[in-house]
Amino acid sequence: MHPVRKQRLYLVLFLVAFSSIAIGLVVYGLRGNINLFFPPAEVAAGKAPLGQSIRVGGMVVDGSIQRSEHNLEVRFELTDYAATVPVIYEGILPDLFDEGQGAVASGQLNADGVLVASEVLAKHDENYMPPEVAEALERSGASPGGNSK
Amino acid sequence: MYFHDLHSALHMDGHGAFVWAAYAITCVVLLLIVVAPLRRRRRLLREMSAEARRQRGVPTQGSEA
Amino acid sequence: MWTFFHKLGSPPWLYAISGSILKYLLPATLLALGVGMVWGLLFTPPDFRQGDSYRIIYIHVPAAAVALAGYYVMATAGAISLIWKMKMADIAMQCCAPIGAALTFVALVTGSIWGKPTWGTWWVWDARITSMLILLFLYLGVIALYEAYDNKAAAARACAVLSLVGTVNIPIIYKSVDWWYSLHQPASIKFTGESSIHPSMLYPLLLMIAAFYALFACALLLRMRAEILDRERRTGWVRKLLEADAV
């Protein structure tokens, strides 16, 4: 290869490699701050800060949803199958929010270890199928929904 | 078709506004990225032909350079 | 092989061949897009969980996929421009940017619209969405940087450097759903093993992805044709072209 062009090729490769490593290191270093996400196991272990805005995600525990009679307040529990976090939320829940489905609640942890949520979002997995196929799977014992992290 | 009439296809069980809006915006943008360069090319060819005619001394509708 | 590479660098050759390709590719692409959209909107079953809102997948996923791939096309053109100082590579890189920006915009907007009825929000700062926004900024940055220079050669060099520096963003976007806890779910189309999307839904999706790739090619060639004409207006081959057209 022409020597000048070879030099330019090395420059291009250096550019890509250097920027990838630099940006990769920054992203890796910031990973704790990017997330501020805590699985229930870490919340139960006391690793989540109190009085600071955090996110807790997991599956909504079956039978844990309690809706208040006179206002929009709702209580439920989130689990990662290692620990459970109780959540209080006042507001409208997304359509896809349901027991046995994934959800992410953001808010502040109070002294009792309950997350007072300012926002609750539903999380769905990557499975797409028609309703009949899902019903058939349920009947045969397999769950139509895969796992949600 | 999975919808039994036009109305249910537009309404989509309450999600129709979301779906049709998303498709409409997409179609507009996709058409734009195809049509814009086509029109630019045609405009360029028109301009260049007009200039070539002027240079050859062919009388044009406007004033002579 | 080198002769082909050489031909690619010739404006009249590229102008001629792109014209022949587009004559068939453009109508085929538009047809595929039309068929795919109608198929996805009306002739696929609803999703067991999301209902009809999932139909946005047929435009959201293809737009996002091609926005990512298009960035590599732009960066590769930039690399070729830097190494071989090939004018055609400059033109290709410059023309990729607005198309990539448009597709990234479509991905973000359709994703946002899809997120409202499913997740419950128009926007969330999770890893996938944030890195896609960065991709949009990179594309816009290349467009802006190009306009900032009077000298086209210097502009091309700056844009090539920016494109190359940003390439690390593509694998970040792709792996963001696996590396970080994100609201956005992992990929449904798997390259190894079985996809987690039902075949009746997968086939129209694959058609739309192919159609979007073809659309990128059409848009790129169309844009390059106009740009080549503009830059080469004083040359002999363009003059001959005009004479041939002028009746």
Alpha-helical runs (H) found in chain B: 6-11, 16-55
- Distance CA(C23)–CA(C17), nearest Å, equals 10
Q: Is the pLDDT of residue B64 over 60?
A: no
pLDDT in tens, C190-217: 888 788 999 999 999 999 999 999 999 9
pLDDT tier for residue C126 given thresholds of 50, 70 and 90: confident
Q: C193 — alpha (psi -120 to 50), left (phi > 0) or beta?
A: left
Side-chain-side CA neighbours of B46 within 13 Å: the count stands at 6
Who among C45, C180, C196 is closest to A130 (CB)? C45
pLDDT tier for residue B61 given thresholds of 50, 70 and 90: low
Side-chain-side CA neighbours of A83 within 13 Å: the count stands at 15
C97: tokens are 């940017």
- Distance CA(B31)–CA(B26), nearest Å, equals 9
Domain residue extents for chain B: 14-44
Residues of C in contact with A15 (CB under 8 A): 161, 164-165
**For testing the chain B interface, which of C222, C235, C238, C239 should be mutated: the one with the most B CBs within 10 Å?**
C222
Question: C233 and B48: CB-CB below 8 Å?
Answer: yes
Mean pLDDT of C100-112: 98
pLDDT in tens, A86-119: 999 999 899 899 999 999 999 999 988 899 999 9
Residue A67 three-state SS: strand
CA distance C107 to chain B (A): 9
Task: Give the Cα-Cα-Cα angle A132, A138, A143 (nearest 5 degrees).
Answer: 115
In the DSSP assignment, the letter for residue A91 is: S
Residue A127: partners with Cβ closer than 8 Å, 6 or more residues away: A144, A145, A146, C49, C188, C196, C197
- Distance CA(C24)–CA(C26), nearest Å, equals 6
Q: Give chains near B: 3+ CB pairs under 8 A.
A: C
**Taking the domain A35-139, which CATH number applies?**
2.40.50.140
CB contact, 8 Å: C190 with chain A? no
Question: C41 and B19: CB-CB below 8 Å?
Answer: yes
Q: Which amino acid is at B33?
A: I
- Distance CA(C186)–CA(C176), nearest Å, equals 9
Who among B22, B30, B34 is closest to C222 (CB)? B34
Which residues on adjacent β-strands are paired with residue A128?
A: C197
C131 burial level (CB within 10 Å; 0-12, 13-18, 19+): buried
Helix (H) or strand (E) holding A134: helix A131-139
Pairing of strands A73-79, A102-109: unpaired
Domain residue extents for chain A: 3-32, 35-139
B52: tokens are 């070539």
Who among A27, A97, A124 is closest to C50 (CB)? A124
Residue located via tokens 């195809």: B34
Question: B22 and C26: CB-CB below 8 Å?
Answer: no
In degrees to the nearest 10, what's the CA dihedral of B19, B25, B28, B32?
A: -140
pLDDT in tens, A58-95: 999 999 999 988 888 999 999 999 999 999 999 989 98
CB contact, 8 Å: B10 with chain C? no
pLDDT in tens, C146-196: 998 889 899 999 999 999 999 999 999 998 888 888 889 988 998 887 889
Q: Which amino acid is at A87?
A: V
Residues of C in contact with B22 (CB under 8 A): 56, 59-60, 109-110, 113-114
- Distance CA(A105)–CA(C51), nearest Å, equals 23
- Distance CA(C179)–CA(A47), nearest Å, equals 21
Q: Is the pLDDT of residue C106 over 70?
A: yes
Lowest average pLDDT, out of A7-16, A73-82, A127-136, goes to A7-16
